[in-house]
Chains A and B, each alone.
Chain A
Amino acid sequence: MLKNLKKRKSILLVLSLLLTLSLLACNQEAAVNNEAGDKVEYAQGITEDTIKIGTIAVQSGVLSFIGTPYVAGMESYFNMINENGGVNGRKIELLKKDDEFKPDKAVAAVESLIYDDEVFAIVGQLGTPGVVAAQDIVKEKGIPSVYFGSGAVSLTKAGENFFPVQPNYVYEGKLMSKYAFEEFKADKVVVMYQNDDVGRDGLEGFKDGLKELDKSSMLPSEGEIAFGASDTDFTVQIQKAKEQDPDLIIIYGLGGATSGILKGMEGLGVNKPMLTTYSNADASFLKMASKGAPNVIENLNVMGWLEVNGESLKPLNEAMKKYYPDVPVNAYTMAGWVAGETFVAGVKKAGDNLTWDGYIKAMNNLKFTEGLAPEISYEPGVRQGVTKMAVSKVVKNNGQYEFKVKTAFKEFE
């Protein structure tokens, strides 16, 4: 009994000694940084030659078709930067977490990146459900979170450490109303919207925009037509839209449902100009949708926030060919690439002041125009991300369908 007690005491002693030593070691590390004369105590995830960051995206299961090219695009960009010497001498180390597009897993992944891996920033978290679920943790911790693969409007008001880039659907909807009026000269519009956050945000924005333009009569209440994201039959919706005899049909939904609607329109012979969200401004969507609706597709216009041409896409195409030759280059790849560009632009601007405050301060005055997006800018308290968008039309060129930009990049003012 006595022997046992003595043994326990000595274990306790050893443990306390280890704890004291490790605490001392931590203090010494901080002191070394201070003594280095930089007068900078770097944030977590930063060393003299590396910047550790993390991303969360679906990489397995049925939705991996979104996350796989997206992460490949982002990683290709960082690989290219690292191969050219990194940013201010620091190489970027990207940790990838798979949340399977599930909010609970996204929250766990964000916590793990912040507390276990101690990353400097979260870059390009993908998927509205996960992004919204993890928002409070990111806000509370104050870690910079740059680029979200989401159009959730709440991100624009989430806090100073949030840097959304993609236009949110409410804003895009507003801009669509301006284009409906100015570009399509429409007197009557029908909005077919996906009955979830994506479509409802877009519809809300469109109605807000019409109100501000004093054109609310353009969209009668019968012109608001809902459809489900996983619906397979759109006959009723298309008939209701046709009955209205509109000058323009807006389809506010993602790829699967939108291509289903186009196929339905082809079958029922609907021949009206259409405008859809930037989420569908993607070559793989066009390839898939055009085969099911070869005539109707030429009536389709899409919003776009990326200035995509052979020249601007060259670095991306080359990097993807080198690092991920088997992954398709599409809108998701480009989005991942822009996430990388935006984060690195902030790091370059922050210089050696790589604290969270230093980075946020640098990003607060960012005006980045050298990337795939025409302009990404932030100001203190302003987090709209990209605000300039253009309309492209589907055209047939040598038997192939492609998007052709038909307007200048405009803002909703």
Chain B
Amino acid sequence: MNMFFQSIMAGLETGSLYALAALGLVLIFRTSDVINFAQGEMAMFSAFIAFKLFDGMKLPYPLAFLGAIVFAILFGFIVERVFIRPASKASLVSKMIITLGLIMIVGGLANALFGIDSHYFRKAIVADNMNIKGVVIQPNAIFIIAITFFIMAGLFYMINKTKMGIAIRATAQDENTAKMMGIPVSKVYSMSWIIATILGAIAGILIAPTTNVSTAMMGEVHLKSFIAAVLGGFGSFYGPVVGGLIIGVLDNLVGMYISLTWKTVIVYGLLILTLIIKPTGIFGKTHRKKV
């Protein structure tokens, strides 16, 4: 039984990491219908900044964390201003291809600036592990799960209860009408890119102790975060979190009780089956046009 709970606990932690990485993706999607394929690379870059501040400049961890957040604000602003806004009239596909190009630019820049080695980056919480009836619980895992739910709730509140949220929803629905209503659409786009980049930075820094800081650190996590968002539904903030947790836990349970060799095939086979039954994701809503 211990092994069962240990697997669930680890699955929740890994799933939270996928969810954290997915929330930034979903925010940009909800504002502009664009999927930012470079979200993972941007998170990697911010994680490198935190690592360099901590390891290179020997700043205390909280300051390094804050430094990376400040960098992410600038980074998100610049990316939106330089790469996305000039293409505001382009089609959605073109915008997504720009984000694919961003992968190359950010990845190449990181390679040139930070080198090609992998580095260990400490956990956010470095307290002793707890042992509850044979199940090892790492305080850092609890922190990651908690922060994921906190951010999810924060985003949910922002979108539904604040003026900024109303502006984002209005812009997403119809950019021109939103403009006519006096919503500063450019600012809304800029803001959503900035928040998404901050979320990416938080995800990158929290994921770093698991994957190590390297230019390849987000590869697998970014892919799984994308799957989590599709599974949970791109339309909500709780969908990707639930999707991420399902993937994390299912991965471990299938590995534990069915087969480690075939777990990837089984888990993703099940996910595809889910999407066949519910193409918009578990929490996705089907919009029907009235004739």
Contacts and interface: CB of A to CB of B under 8 A. Distances in A.
A280 B260 CA distance: 23
A268 interface: yes
A64 B11 CA distance: 31
A130 interface: no
A259 interface: yes
B220 A236 contact: no
Contact of A236 (B119, B252, B264): B252
B136 to A, nearest CB: 5
Most chain A beta carbons < 10 A, residue from B11, B116, B209, B251: B116
B219 to A, nearest CB: 7
Given A228-B264, A233-B252, A292 B209 contact: yes
Given A236-B7, A259-B212, A267-B136, A64 B248 contact: no
A279 B221 CA distance: 24
A269 B212 contact: no
Contacts of A61: 107, 111
A255 interface: yes
B17 A232 contact: yes
B126 to A, nearest CB: 12
Interface in A223-276: 225-228, 230-233, 235-237, 239-240, 243, 255-256, 259-260, 263, 267-269
B251 to A, nearest CB: 7
B111 A64 contact: yes
Contacts of A225: 260
B121 to A, nearest CB: 9
Contacts of B214: 62, 65
Contacts of B111: 60-61, 64
Interface in A271-327: 284, 288-289, 291-292
A15 to B, nearest CB: 44
Contacts of B120: 259, 288-289, 291-292
A258 B136 CA distance: 21
A226 B221 contact: no
B3 interface: yes
B177 interface: no
A269 B117 contact: no
A195 interface: yes
Nearest to A264: B10
A65 B14 contact: no
B97 interface: no
Interface in B218-236: 219-221
Given A233-B248, A237-B255, A288-B118, A195 B3 contact: no
A259 B213 CA distance: 12
A228 B267 CA distance: 14
Given A61-B107, A284-B117, A232 B221 contact: yes
Nearest to B116: A65
Nearest to A243: B3
Contact of A226 (B6, B118, B248, B260): B260
A61 B215 CA distance: 9
Contacts of B116: 64-65, 68-69, 328
Nearest to A61: B107
Interface in B163-202: none
A407 to B, nearest CB: 29
Contacts of B10: 233, 235-236
Nearest to B123: A292
Contacts of B94: none
A239 B3 contact: yes
B101 to A, nearest CB: 15
A267 B212 CA distance: 16
A330 B260 CA distance: 32
Interface in B1-39: 3, 6-7, 9-11, 13-14, 17
B211 interface: yes
A399 B257 CA distance: 41
Contact of B138 (A60, A230, A267): A267
Interface of B: 3, 6-7, 9-11, 13-14, 17, 107-108, 111, 115-120, 122, 129, 136, 138, 207, 209-212, 214-216, 219-221, 248, 251-252, 255-256, 260-261, 264
Given A233-B14, A239-B6, A289-B120, 19 more contacts: A60-B108, A60-B111, A64-B116, A65-B116, A65-B118, A69-B116, A195-B260, A232-B17, A233-B13, A235-B9, A235-B10, A236-B7, A239-B7, A243-B3, A256-B211, A259-B212, A268-B136, A284-B118, A328-B115
19 contacts: A227-B260, A228-B264, A231-B220, A232-B17, A232-B211, A233-B14, A233-B251, A235-B6, A236-B7, A236-B256, A239-B6, A239-B7, A256-B211, A259-B118, A263-B209, A263-B210, A268-B136, A288-B120, A328-B117
